[in-house]
Amino acid sequence: MKSKTLTYLVLGAVLAVGFQPTFASAADTTTAKATATTAVADRNPKNLEQTGTFKAGPGIAVVSTDAGKLQGYVQDDIYNYRGVQYAEAKERFKPATPVEHWDGIKMAVNNGPISPQPKGGFLDDWGQPGREFKEDNNAQNLNIWTPGINDNQKRPVMVWIHGGGFSNGSSLENASYDGQNLAKEGDVVVVSVNHRLNGVGYLDLSAYGDQYKESGNVGIHDLVDSLKWIKTNIANFGGDPNNVTIFGESGGGAKVLALMTTPEAKGLFQKGIVESGATETMGVYFNTKPFAKRVAVLTLEKLNIAPDEVDKIQSVPMDQFQKVSNEALEQAGIEFGIKRPLDGQPGGSWEPVVDGNFMPTDPVLDNGFAEAGKDVSLLIGSNRTEWTNFQDILNIEKTQYDNVNTWSDAEIDAKLKEKYGDKADAVVTEFLKAYPNKKKGDALYIDTMIRNPMRKIMTHKADQNGAPVYAYVFTYDAPVMNGVYMSYHTSEIPFVFHNVDLVAGSYGGSQDAYDLQDVMASAWVNFARTGDPNGDKVPAWSTYTDDNKSTMVFDTTSGERVDYDAELQELISQ
């Protein structure tokens, strides 16, 4: 039986922009190649004239990498490469190895496989079909969008790391992750990365032999390998290998924090962006060694594999491994009294393992931030409502007629009293101070689960007196479906990618939405280019320090606020 933890993590992965079904089941072949075809001989190209917006054929979009040549395609003047293999995982639970060299030209026009994972269950979104991908342990592949190749332009490189906790998701799971518009609007190189997840990426078998020494963190090892590939090859794709920004949302943001913590990634990127990337038990802190060891013990017991026969786990059918390892994770979480991020009930989550070596510490320390991240500039923030309106969204057929925008004043007062008790009036007062453009009823939807851990991270990072920190909160409420969506978890993503047009069903395609995406995409690109989000289209934005706690609030009218919601958060958290 699927645990609540995994159900919530699947929901988190697919909640982005319209609740599309994200995952498809497939056999785990472990040695399948991520590239779409075998290389063909490199010949002198002869092409028919192509005058349209889509160009593909001999000699078009051909780039050299350290392992061989790749051929992509050009769409609306942006070069596209899909399913580019950056490493190869020949066995489960072990770090991947470099890609073997090939002769000729390999096609890079099809999406690569994704990590094995539990399956999502949402229906299509506003006529957009759900996306399905092959699943494989050998899922070390990436996608690239770039305005130019072989041109020595040294564009900023923006590496997107998908969400879904550390359990689910993929680099192209929904339309909002497409890097085409961001690359074109910002003149940047956009990369998105697939990597191992859940027990495939974080089951710690290190107690059973040196061959599994790194098994508890091979998911992060994959991401490090992708950054090494980018460092070596991205110049030929028009990017600057010394100006790399990693950015991610939810679990992707937590992966950014993990990469800022491991010394293995030091120097492979210069800036990080964390969007809604932490709860108190995921992102701020990761799994301990004793907990991870217990998960492994239970997994082997449930699979009837003796410790001295651990290699048998290599051939366990993937569906069986997923089921059993998730049961073990749940049981260990209950034994250790670990609370799940979303529902607060006992139960574990797949996360990196703090092993004192590859992952030397948690991202947040008692008196600071991970040392490896000291020189990495950080842009960090969350959304106003996050998960607080999740049930309303799930029941949208009903709630479109029955929500905060339809309730009477008396109904709103009653609900505020029910939620906050004697603090209701004080909460409303502080809420309207913090958000003067919102309504009293909106005080029913105030995120603390993500906002407070994010405040902790930005404060500890700023106190480190290293590279600068910029903080934000996204508060835009779309009018679609009578305003039920609000600023839900993942809702900022299409604005960052300049992809509001691709997900109009969630945002309505209003001028307000278009204007906001111009502001946010510009801020993200500015930060990637220079380490400072300020510039054209972006209101003045100061660094976050312990003294001023400056925060950019993104909405129909965006602007900087100073320590604007501290009293509200403290009041609600009492």
- Are the C-beta atoms of 69 and 56 separated by less than 8 Å? no
Q: Which residues of 53-77 are buried (b: 16+ CB within 10 A; e: fewer)?
A: eebbeeeebbbebebbbbbbbbbee
Using CA atoms, how far apart are residues 492 and 416, in angstroms rounded to an integer?
27
Residue count (the chain): 574
Q: Does residue 250 have an active-site annotation?
A: yes
Instruction: Tell me if 459 sits within 8 A of 370, measured CB to CB.
Output: no
For tokens 């590239």, name the residue: 35
The single-letter code of the amino acid at 218 is: V
What's the rounded Cα separation, in Å, for the pair 303 and 55? 51
Among the listed residues 206, 250, 382, 506, the single catalytic one is 250
- The answer to whether 286 and 353 have CB atoms below 8 angstroms apart is yes
Comparing C-alpha atoms, which of 541, 105, 2, 41 is closest to residue 324? 2
Q: How far is C-alpha 15 from the chain's CA centre?
A: 12
Helix and strand numbers (H, E) in the chain are: 17, 17
Phi/psi region, residue 345 (left: phi>0; alpha: psi -120 to 50; beta: rest), is beta
> What's the CA gap between 368 and 461, in Å, rounded?
6
CB-based contact 314:303 (threshold 8 Å): no
d(CA 239, CA 278): 29
User: Helix, strand, or coil here: 502?
Assistant: helix
User: Residues near 422 by Cβ (< 8 Å), separated by ≥ 6?
Assistant: none
For helices 318-336 and 4-14, the axis angle rounded to 10 degrees is 110
- Measured CA to CA, the distance from residue 423 to residue 426 in angstroms comes to 5
Do β-strands 73-75 and 78-85 pair in parallel, antiparallel, or remain unpaired?
A: antiparallel
Q: For residue 191, what are the CA distances in angstroms to 32, 251, 300, 563?
A: 22, 17, 37, 34
Considering only CA atoms, which of 385, 403, 339 is closest in space to residue 490? 385
Residue with tokens 């922009």: 17
Cα distance between residue 363 and residue 371, in whole Å: 9
> In angstroms, rounded to a whole number, what is the distance separating the alpha carbons of residues 378 and 366?
19
Per-residue tokens: 108: 């890079």
Is 85 strand, coil or helix? Answer: strand
Q: Please identify which residue in the block is written with the tokens 């709860």.
A: 279
Cα–chain-centroid distance for residue 76? Answer: 26
Q: Coil, strand or helix: which one is 145?
A: strand
Residue tagged 């689910």 (tokens): 168
Q: Which residues have a catalytic role annotated?
A: 250
